[in-house]
């Protein structure tokens, strides 16, 4: 296609569409019909220009025209509290439930790896010697040592904010880097499990495993679950690049990517809860059984939320993606 000839043939239509858009609040009935027709034609022109060859200036102009016209024709949509409620009661739990075949195995394998590493560190003095000097290990594991002091080293509110930021960053990385064929996600999860295993192994070797679990479990159950959900979602996104199934690769990535973005927002709220538990409950003077009980209740509440609300939403057709009316129409493709 000769772009110069194409532009000459259709410039008048684009200019007319631009004029109508500038006067959109004062259009007559026939002018409104004309705007819709020109919008449809210009959208077709944009598709042709994109497929014919790169012309950034022309593509940019037509993209802007089409976007403005679409906003005028369909009307701008504003978020409402109903959207928030729908996301929290349907979209987010549906996305987590739908990804359960990825994050549940991720959790089981990760915990098995952590258990093996913990045993290896706890039962092999030569391994512990590579982690730190004996005097440093004693400082880490003694009563009131660094492992215990960590949870009360800062004011609770600022500590909660710090913990939430660090954990939200880790989950976001799992979700975003999943598109890189899964490898970065596996590394992030391994690093998290190694950190847990080092703590368990060192405290077990010092005969203080019960103390460490009393510090880890109140917030760790929910926190690690959020990390596993993010990792499983990231792995699913990465596998979509490899095998999109019956969908086009672009369409599959768009669908899974939108769900992953929603997942990031929902998990940020989950991590806010676990961060609050870590800052206010873990270092508190409550008995160990009470602190662990709070963690178990928080974990059970989250799993119930996912499997009850999410399962119901999925059975009703919700996938965690945008509503059909908010997505671009999908064109049929050859299998």
- Number of separate domains in the chain: 2
One domain, residues 108 and 238? yes
332 domain residue, yes or no: no
One domain, residues 66 and 188? no
User: Which of the listed residues 74, 105, 127 is the one where a domain comes to its end?
Assistant: 74
Taking alpha carbons only, the member of 106, 104, 267, 244 closest to residue 186 is 106
90 domain residue, yes or no: yes
One domain, residues 58 and 87? no
Distance, in Å, from the CA atom of 240 to the CA atom of 156, rounded to the nearest integer, reads 41
User: Which of the listed residues 74, 102, 135 is the one where a domain comes to its end?
Assistant: 74
Would you state the pLDDT for residue 330?
Answer: 46
One domain, residues 89 and 62? no
The string of DSSP codes covering 169-203 is HHHHHHHHHTTTTTHHHHHHHHHHHHHHHHHHHHH
One domain, residues 166 and 117? yes
Token pair recorded at residue 261: 């973005």
One domain, residues 99 and 59? no
Q: Kindly report the number of other CB atoms within 10 A of residue 188's CB atom.
A: 20
* Location of structure tokens 């004693």: 138
Would you state the pLDDT for residue 326?
Answer: 45
Cα→Cα distances 24→136, 236, 277, Å: 72, 44, 53
Cα→Cα distances 9→1, 15, 44, 50, 262, Å: 12, 12, 14, 17, 43
Q: Kindly report the number of other CB atoms within 10 A of residue 234's CB atom.
A: 32
174 domain residue, yes or no: yes
Would you state the pLDDT for residue 329?
Answer: 43
Would you state the pLDDT for residue 49?
Answer: 81
One domain, residues 12 and 33? yes
331 domain residue, yes or no: no
Would you state the pLDDT for residue 157?
Answer: 65
Q: What sign does the CA torsion over 196, 197, 199, 203 have?
A: positive
Inter-helix orientation angle 209-242/183-205, to 10°? 170
One domain, residues 47 and 91? no
One domain, residues 24 and 119? no
293 domain residue, yes or no: yes
Would you state the pLDDT for residue 335?
Answer: 42
Distance, in Å, from the CA atom of 64 to the CA atom of 17, rounded to the nearest integer, reads 11
The string of DSSP codes covering 229-245 is HHHHHHHHHHHHHH--T
Residues of the chain by 3-state class (helix, strand, coil), percent to 5: 80, 0, 20
Helices (H), the chain: 3-22, 29-52, 56-74, 81-86, 92-98, 100-123, 125-131, 134-141, 146-149, 156-177, 183-205, 209-242, 249-276, 288-304, 311-315
Would you state the pLDDT for residue 328?
Answer: 47
330 domain residue, yes or no: no
Contact present, 140 and 147 (Cβ < 8 Å): yes
**Domain boundaries, position 103:** 82-324
pLDDT in tens, the chain (335 residues): 677 788 888 899 999 988 888 887 778 888 888 888 998 899 888 888 877 766 778 888 888 888 888 888 776 555 567 778 888 898 899 989 999 999 999 999 999 999 999 999 999 999 999 998 989 999 888 988 888 887 766 666 665 676 677 777 778 788 777 777 778 888 989 998 998 999 999 999 999 999 989 989 999 999 999 999 999 988 888 888 888 878 777 777 777 777 778 888 899 899 999 989 988 998 888 999 999 999 999 999 999 999 999 999 999 888 776 554 444 444 444 44
Q: Kindly report the number of other CB atoms within 10 A of residue 333's CB atom.
A: 9
């Amino acid at each position: 296609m000769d772009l110069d000839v194409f532009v000459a043939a259709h410039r008048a239509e684009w200019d007319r569409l631009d004029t109508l858009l500038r006067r959109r609040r004062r259009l007559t009935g026939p002018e409104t019909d004309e705007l819709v027709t020109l919008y449809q034609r210009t959208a077709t022109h944009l598709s042709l220009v994109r497929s014919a060859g790169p012309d950034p200036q022309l593509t940019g102009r037509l993209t802007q025209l089409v976007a403005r016209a679409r906003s005028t024709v369909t009307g701008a949509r504003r978020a409402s509290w109903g959207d928030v409620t729908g996301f929290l009661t349907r979209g987010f739990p549906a996305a987590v439930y739908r990804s359960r075949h990825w994050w549940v195995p991720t959790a089981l394998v990760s915990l098995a790896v952590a258990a093996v590493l913990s045993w290896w560190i706890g039962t092999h003095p030569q391994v512990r010697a590579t982690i730190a000097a004996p005097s440093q290990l004693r400082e880490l594991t003694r009563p009131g040592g660094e492992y215990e002091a960590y949870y009360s080293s800062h004011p609770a509110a600022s500590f909660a904010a710090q913990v939430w930021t660090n954990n939200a960053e880790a989950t976001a990385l799992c979700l975003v880097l999943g598109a890189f064929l899964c490898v970065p996600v596996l590394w992030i999860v391994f690093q998290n499990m190694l950190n847990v295993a080092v703590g368990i192994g060192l405290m077990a070797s010092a005969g203080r495993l019960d103390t460490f679990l009393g510090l880890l479990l109140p917030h760790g159950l929910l926190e690690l679950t959020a990390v596993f959900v993010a990792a499983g979602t990231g792995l699913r996104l990465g596998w979509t690049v490899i095998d999109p199934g019956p969908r086009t690769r672009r369409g599959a990535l768009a669908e899974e990517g939108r769900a992953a973005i929603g997942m990031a927002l929902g998990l940020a709220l989950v991590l806010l809860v676990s961060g609050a538990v870590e800052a206010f409950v873990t270092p508190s003077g409550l008995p160990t059984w009470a602190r662990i009980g709070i963690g178990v209740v928080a974990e059970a509440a989250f799993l119930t939320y996912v499997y009850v609300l999410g399962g119901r939403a999925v059975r009703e057709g919700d996938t965690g993606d945008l509503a059909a009316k908010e997505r671009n129409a999908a064109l049929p493709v050859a299998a």
